Structure 1
């Protein structure tokens, strides 16, 4: 029974580790991801704080690259709600959370 549980857990991790659960919306696809040097002539609209799950059941951590991608996708999607067209990460991903500044550049 223990061997079956280990195999089941390994299968679950391998199947879901390739998934990105937060997709960029159609509107979000028009939002650029930049760094602070690229937005000097832009108007800062606001800061958004986004959050996604960074673990599976218990302490099984998700792929940090997938979590980072989802956080960026979520920030791009949220930027459209405030008239932004560019996001700049202002913190590193930690515990499935990250902050982004939203700018209007065009």
Structure 2
């Protein structure tokens, strides 16, 4: 294997490792106040609507860390719920390919 080819492989592997752990979604101030609960815990809450959050699960041919992608999806959902006047989100199903839906509720002073 040539030195240039080996360098390219090592650089590509290092880049994939770095990208897989990076998060690019910041939690906004209104998102910091949002909590995540389960369906039985929101029985007395006011339903405000449904949101779907998504982020890139891959960068080119490189798969990103599932934990990193999940954290970004949660941050996006919390930010969006805060914009809607909610204080709680409840996942409606699992994350698939960087996308997940949530129900938004107001539980404090519904």
* Global fold match (TM > 0.5): yes
Deviation at 1:38, TM superposition (A): 1.2
| Structure having the higher Rg | 2
1:37 pairs with one of 14, 19, 40: 40
1:16-46 Cα distance to aligned partner (Å, 9 max, x none)? 2222111211110000011111111101100
1:45 aligned counterpart, secondary structure = strand
Aligned residue in 1 for 2:31: 28
1:45-70 Cα distance to aligned partner (Å, 9 max, x none)? 00001110000112x21111111111
For these two proteins, the number of residue pairs brought into alignment is 105
Looking at structure 2, the residues matched to 26 and 91 of structure 1 have their Cα atoms a distance apart, in angstroms, of 26
1:81 pairs with one of 75, 80, 83: 83
Deviation at 1:2, TM superposition (A): 2.0
Aligned residue in 1 for 2:10: 7
- Gaps spanning 5+ residues in structure 1: where? none
2:55 pairs with one of 48, 52, 57: 52
Looking at structure 2, the residues matched to 68 and 29 of structure 1 have their Cα atoms a distance apart, in angstroms, of 16
